[in-house]
């Protein structure tokens, strides 16, 4: 069983933890030059991403998503803004490069080979060096990423997965699937009857979380580096019969808001529609978790007794491990009989942080 953490195991080494969305949004609105190069802002309604200093009209807060690098924004299906050219380095982009990038953006479905470069009087080695230096990838990889980004954009606009893949220059669905998997970390499912669930990342004081939502509600919220995340994503896909694709869902804004309130100590319970799929036993175990008050803990034994299965302690522990809603369904509030913190999918240090946070704010 591989335990690849989606989105974190990419070739993009420049990923950083960003300041809070409040800080970033303020910088965006002020066109704060101090933040140039720190982040890019992607607009969900237009599918375009910009430098913080872009002269274009600023989007509404709820429509913005922040990324630490342009490459990440591309991976999530956004296209670079023509006005502020977030892919170029300001003042240093040679003309030939701007023309080339323009061409790739306008026609991502066309593959520009070394021979095509020479036809454009460009030296392939020069092009290769520039892309390696500025984007840490070959020109070919850059083109692949733009094709992928283009396909995401079309899927976001409602195109079906196959149409988007072929229309963006992929020769087969399996080629699209491979590229997708490399860029995003999980395989998109291709069934046409499937509906799409959107995936996004949410920054928290405990590191980035992955959120999945469809029209009915939130389907998953987990730390991106938790063990077994791939398995959990597989379960979401198969149990809900959905394709997972990076994108927007109106619910994500509420998830972000409620999480930041929780981490600020001002929220004790979450008010979000959850799409819970599991066996009757799992559902009973998760219900019992939700009944544990904020700032308190229970032992596995007590949880087993609460669902009237006093001997099913191991099964209860397993069900807690299968919980797909970290923090919201508070499996962190279950500890060993002797008070030890025992296992937690997101890591014991996070469990400890959450329990201390709740303790601090429940006595206030
Ligand atoms: Zn712009």
Each residue's pLDDT tens digit, 328-347: 999 999 998 887 877 787 88
Range(s) of the chain covered by CATH 1.10.10.10: 280-362
Model confidence band, residue 180 (pLDDT cutoffs 50, 70, 90): confident
Q: Which of 101-110, 156-165, 231-240 has the lowest mean pLDDT?
A: 156-165
Residues 280-362, CATH architecture? Orthogonal Bundle (1.10)
DSSP string, 103-156: HHHH-TTS---HHHHHHTT--HHHHHHHHHHHHSS-HHHHHHHHHHHHHHHHHH
User: 333: helix, coil or strand?
Assistant: helix
From the list 54, 81, 219, 331, the catalytic residue is: 331
Q: Cα of 48 to ligand 1 centre, how many Å?
A: 8
Q: Cα of 348 to ligand 1 centre, how many Å?
A: 42
Domain topology for 88-184 = Arc Repressor Mutant, subunit A (1.10.10)
Both tokens of 18, joined, read 């960003």
- Identify the CATH class of 1-85: alpha beta
Q: How far apart are the first and last CA of the chain?
A: 44
What tens digit of pLDDT does each residue of 20-70 get? 888 899 999 998 887 877 889 999 888 899 999 888 889 999 889 888 888
172, burial (CB in 10 Å: exposed 0-12, middle 13-18, buried 19+): exposed
Per DSSP bridges, beta strands 334-335 and 298-299 are: parallel
What mean pLDDT, rounded, does the chain reach? 82
Domain topology for 195-264 = Double Stranded RNA Binding Domain (3.30.160)
Q: Cα of 33 to ligand 1 centre, how many Å?
A: 14
Model confidence band, residue 183 (pLDDT cutoffs 50, 70, 90): low
Range(s) of the chain covered by CATH 3.30.160: 195-264
Among 78, 86, 79, 84, which residue's Cα sits nearest to residue 38?
A: 86
- pTM of the predicted model, to two decimals? 0.58
Return the percentage of the chain with pLDDT > 90, whole number: 35
Q: Cα of 36 to ligand 1 centre, how many Å?
A: 12
Range(s) of the chain covered by CATH 3.40.10.10: 1-85
Q: Which residues contact 251 (CB under 8 A, 6 or more apart)?
A: 213, 217, 218, 272, 273
Is 331 designated active site?
A: yes
Specify the DSSP class assigned to residue 325.
B
Q: Cα of 227 to ligand 1 centre, how many Å?
A: 37
């Amino acid at each position: 069983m591989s335990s690849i953490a989606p989105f974190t195991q990419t070739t993009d080494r420049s990923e950083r933890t960003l300041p809070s969305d409040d800080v970033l949004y303020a910088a965006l609105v002020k066109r704060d030059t101090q933040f140039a190069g720190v982040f890019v802002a992607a607009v969900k309604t237009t599918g375009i991403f910009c430098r913080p200093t872009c002269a274009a009209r600023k989007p509404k807060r709820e429509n913005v998503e922040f990324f630490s690098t342009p490459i990440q924004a591309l991976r999530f299906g956004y296209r670079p803004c023509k006005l502020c050219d977030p892919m170029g380095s300001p003042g240093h982009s040679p003309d030939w490069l701007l023309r080339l990038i323009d061409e790739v953006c306008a026609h991502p479905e066309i593959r520009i080979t070394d021979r095509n470069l020479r036809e454009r009087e460009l030296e392939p080695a020069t092009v290769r060096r520039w892309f390696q230096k500025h984007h840490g990838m070959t020109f070919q990889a850059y083109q692949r990423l733009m094709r992928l980004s283009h396909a995401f954009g079309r899927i976001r606009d409602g195109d079906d997965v196959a149409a988007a893949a072929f229309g963006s220059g992929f020769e087969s669905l399996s080629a699209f699937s491979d590229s997708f998997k490399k860029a995003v970390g999980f395989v998109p499912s291709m069934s046409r009857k499937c509906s799409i669930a959107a995936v996004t990342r949410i920054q928290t004081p405990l590191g980035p979380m992955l959120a999945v939502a469809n029209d009915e509600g939130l389907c998953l919220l987990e730390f991106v580096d938790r063990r077994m995340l791939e398995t959990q994503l597989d379960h979401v896909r198969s149990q809900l019969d959905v394709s997972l694709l990076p994108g927007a869902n109106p619910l994500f804004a509420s998830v972000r808001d409620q999480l930041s309130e929780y981490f600020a100590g001002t929220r004790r319970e979450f008010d979000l529609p959850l799409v819970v799929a599991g066996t009757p036993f799992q559902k009973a175990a998760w219900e019992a978790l939700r009944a544990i008050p904020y700032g308190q803990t229970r032992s596995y034994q007590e949880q087993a007794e609460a669902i009237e299965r006093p001997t099913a302690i191991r099964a209860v522990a397993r069900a807690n491990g299968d919980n797909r809603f970290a923090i919201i369904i508070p499996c962190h509030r279950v500890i060993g009989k002797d008070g030890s913190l025992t296992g937690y999918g997101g890591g014991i240090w996070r469990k400890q942080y959450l329990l201390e946070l709740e303790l601090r704010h429940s006595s206030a």
